[in-house]
Amino acid sequence: MRIRSLAVAGLALLAVAGCSASPTPAPSSSAAALEGTLTVAAAASLQNAFTELGDLFEGANPEVTVEFAFAGSSALVAQLQEGAPGDVFASADAANMEKASELLSGDPELFAGNTLTIVTPPGNPSGIESFADLADARLVVCAAQVPCGTATAAEADAAGVTLSPVSEEQSVTDVLGRVTSGEADAGLVYATDAEAAGDAVERIDFDTTVVNEYPIAALNDSEVAAAFIAFVLSDEGRSVLASYGFKAP
Amino acid sequence: MSLAAGLPRWLLIPAALGAAIVLVPIAGLLGRVPWARLPELLTTEASLDALALSVGTAGVSTILCLLLGVPLALVLARSEFRGLALLRAVVLLPLVLPPVVGGLALLAAFGRNGLLGETLELAGIRLAFTSVAVVLAQVFVSLPFLVLSLEGALRLGHRRYEQVAASLGASPSVTLRRVTLPLVLPAVGAAAVLAFARALGEFGATLTFAGSYQGTTRTLPLEIYLQREVDPDAAIALSLLLVVVAVVGVLLTTARRAPR
């Protein structure tokens, strides 16, 4: 993991700069040192990647403390609408960013993409090899009401496969839990979740047609919020996200 | 009519605050009910499926709670042995456990890789993702409510009637049927309503253990949680439904108690 992330970071830097190979924290663009506390409301699937981004951002800006609120995107929108504190909002889909549009102080920018992948318990007990095999499997997916469920339905449509899951979960982590516990023979989760699960699952990639895109936006016009968003969108930010399995938007 | 007869007046202040903690959120919920859309929201296929599943599983759970809980309460109330306090504490554990922990425990017992899961699998029985799992989760969380309230009633000192019956030659079974149970019948009714209400509201253990699928495992609380993602109005409408069912249940229980 560590080696891969360094390799990805190195490649990204080589591609951009063509020389230096050691990743360096992005210097803050503004002349005055940034300070204060930054609260970032971010989709649950971003937890690992954003925690690392937050650490790096704090390292580059010692006077800044970054705090995160990780939850499902729609729950975050509801909390923000009810007055929860937040300077930056990173959503797992455009629909929830749209719901928060009245709270935003700038236009949302896409910073990452995520695709679905098939996961099975170790050993792949029911021998899943392709998306079509899911039709007869003891399968768990996300409910159509949440972003990963929308993506699941779109992939099934594109593949022309009728899925008959035994359970439609509220969140992608719940789907993953069903698979790692061995209750289900297969699940459809995001590539990033499969990556984070490591050896607890076997991963079977298929030709995806849907890329779930993640927008990020400031909730006020603070400099720190703008600097954090710029950092997430920077090459270094992208390479950190890539190391957790996120695609470029 | 008298307000807090014989009590110091200052007691009314914390008492009123206590009542407000319960009443204000309920009032807030009622304030958000989309009354105009209510019929439409409550009659969607998903809502009706969830309601039918909830009432059905909670009903079966209540019957199971009665069949298992009444004997358990009798044994706990009429026994004296070392370790009784420990046994009671363990049986009542689901009262204080977060339901999601209950769900994890049920998975560890009846899941595919659970304690009994392999045996069940060999017998061709799969519980996870079925309505049976929903009932199991509900019994797990509501049984202690029934046992606790019934044991209290059983300890109220009806022992003498039982002893008299025994001295007149009644067998233990006859004493149980003709003396003990009739005496605690109102308490059994109240305990059953409590268990039904708890089963109806069960969320965490069901979500963790049984899964979520329309018509099979997605009960009303799960449907509310899911609808909240897309249509908060629908979630509020379904919440109102649960509040009404719960209030009716509680009123039925307290109405029984009032004459005493």
Kindly state whether residues A6 and A105 are assigned to the same domain: yes
Let me know if residue A249 belongs to a domain. Answer: no
Provide the mean pLDDT of chain A.
86
Bridge partners for A65 per DSSP: A37
* Minimal C-alpha gap between A166 and chain B (Å): 6
Domain interval for residue A92: 2-112+213-243
The domain limits of chain B are 40-257
What CATH number has the domain bearing residue A93? Answer: 3.40.190.10
Q: What is the pLDDT of residues B125-134, one digit of tens each?
A: 888 899 999 9
Q: Is B225 on the interface with A (CB under 8 A)?
A: yes
Model ipTM?
A: 0.79
Query: Binning pLDDT at 50, 70 and 90, where does residue A63 land?
Result: very high
**Greater pLDDT, A4 or B84:** B84
Residue B206 to residue B210: CA distance in whole angstroms: 5
Kindly state whether residues A130 and A18 are assigned to the same domain: no
Let me know if residue A9 belongs to a domain. Answer: yes
CA B46 to chain centroid, in Å, comes to 23
Helix (H, G, I), strand (E, B) or coil at A190: strand
* Minimal C-alpha gap between A175 and chain B (Å): 10
Question: Tell me, what's the pLDDT at B124?
Answer: 85
Residues of A in contact with B211 (CB under 8 A): 140, 166-167, 169, 178
Question: Tell me, what's the pLDDT at B256?
Answer: 56
Kindly state whether residues A187 and A225 are assigned to the same domain: no
Question: Tell me, what's the pLDDT at A234?
Answer: 96
Q: Is B214 on the interface with A (CB under 8 A)?
A: yes
Cβ-based neighbour number of residue B165 at 10 Å: 18
Range scoring the smallest mean pLDDT among A22-31, A39-48, A146-155: A22-31
Kindly state whether residues A103 and A120 are assigned to the same domain: no
Please give the class, per CATH, of domain B40-257: mainly alpha
Q: What percent of chain A has pLDDT over 90?
A: 66
Question: Tell me, what's the pLDDT at B155?
Answer: 85
Kindly state whether residues A40 and A106 are assigned to the same domain: yes
Q: Is B113 on the interface with A (CB under 8 A)?
A: yes
**Greater pLDDT, A13 or A230:** A230
Question: Tell me, what's the pLDDT at A32?
Answer: 62
Kindly state whether residues A55 and A96 are assigned to the same domain: yes
Interchain CB distance below 8 Å, A170 and B207: yes
CA A184 to chain centroid, in Å, comes to 23
Considering only CB atoms, A166 lies closest to which of B129, B227, B232, namely B129
* Minimal C-alpha gap between A138 and chain B (Å): 10
Kindly state whether residues A89 and A151 are assigned to the same domain: no
Question: Tell me, what's the pLDDT at A26?
Answer: 47
Let me know if residue A248 belongs to a domain. Answer: no
Q: What is the mean pLDDT of residues A113-131?
A: 93
Q: In a mutagenesis test of the A interface, which of B229, B233, B236 is the best target, namely the one with the most A β-carbons within 10 Å?
A: B229
Which residue carries 């309230």 as its tokens?
A: B149
Q: What is the pLDDT of residues A214-225, one digit of tens each?
A: 999 999 999 999
Q: Is the pLDDT confidence value at A23 over 60?
A: no
Residue B59 to residue B245: CA distance in whole angstroms: 13
Question: Tell me, what's the pLDDT at B35?
Answer: 93
Let me know if residue A74 belongs to a domain. Answer: yes
Which parts of chain B register pLDDT below 70? 1, 157, 255-260
Residue B79 to residue B74: CA distance in whole angstroms: 8
Please count the structural domains in chain A: 2
Cβ-based neighbour number of residue B22 at 10 Å: 9
Q: What is the pLDDT of residues B66-93, one digit of tens each?
A: 999 999 999 999 888 888 889 889 988 9
Q: Is the pLDDT confidence value at A151 over 70?
A: yes
Q: Which residues contact B135 (CB under 8 A, 6 or more apart)?
A: B57, B60, B61, B64
Q: If we measure between CA atoms, which residue out of B249, B238, B251, B197 comes closest to residue B32?
A: B238
